[in-house]
Amino acid sequence: MAQQTYVFDAELVEFIGVRRVIAVRDDLTLVDLHYALQSAFGWDDDHLYAFWLDGRFWTSTDEHFARPGGIGDAPGSAASRSAAIRLDRLGLAEGRRIAYVFDFGDEWRVRLRVQQIVDDGGDPSPRLLSAVGAAPPQYSHAA
C-alpha cells in the first residue's frame, strides 16, 4: 500500500483567523503531529497535551490520547492512551475533526480537521504548508 500524507487544518480557538495547515505522513504518530503544532504556533514543548478523536475537548471517551509518559491524565477525562500511536492506525478520514489541548493550565485549544489525505510525494514530514495570522506568545494566554 502506498504511503499517505494527512493534511490537517489547525485553527487556534479564541484567536479568530489564526490557523495553520500541516502535512504529516501516515507512518508518523500523534506525538509527531504535536511537535508539528508546537513548531507551527511557536510554542515550547514544556507542558502536557492531549488529543480527542471525537473532536470535542475534555470528553471521556476511548478516543483520548495523551503525551506518552505524562504525569496523570487530562482533568475529568477517562484514562488516556499514548499519543505514540501511528496515524495510519486511527482510521482517520477526510473531514474528521480532532480536538487538541496543549498546556492543561492555560489550555491552548486547537481544532483540527483532516482536510485531505494524499499520496505521499516524498516531501519532508511533518511540514508546515501554510500559516495565516500571527500566533500570540505562548505565555500571554489566560484561560
72 band by pLDDT with thresholds 50, 70 and 90: very low
What number of helices (H) and strands (E) belong to the chain? 1, 8
Distance from C-alpha of 21 to C-alpha of 65, rounded to nearest angstrom: 21
On whether the CB atoms of residues 41 and 59 are closer than 8 A, the answer is no
Q: Which residue has the higher pLDDT, 128 or 103?
A: 128
Look up the pTM and report it: 0.88
User: Is residue 127 scored above 90 in pLDDT?
Assistant: yes
In the chain, pLDDT over 90 holds for what percent of residues?
A: 60
Write the pLDDT tens digit of every residue in 6-35. 999 999 999 999 999 999 999 999 999 999
Q: Which domains are present in the chain? A: 4-135 (3.10.290.30)
Distance from C-alpha of 110 to C-alpha of 67, rounded to nearest angstrom: 16
Write the pLDDT tens digit of every residue in 32-51. 999 999 999 998 877 889 99
For position 115, what pLDDT does the model report?
Answer: 97
Q: Which residue has the higher pLDDT, 62 or 89?
A: 89
Q: Which of 124, 101, 105 is nearest to 28 (CA)?
A: 124
User: Is residue 68 scored above 90 in pLDDT?
Assistant: no
Distance from C-alpha of 21 to C-alpha of 57, rounded to nearest angstrom: 20
For position 35, what pLDDT does the model report?
Answer: 95
103 band by pLDDT with thresholds 50, 70 and 90: confident
Average of per-residue pLDDT across 69-85: 64
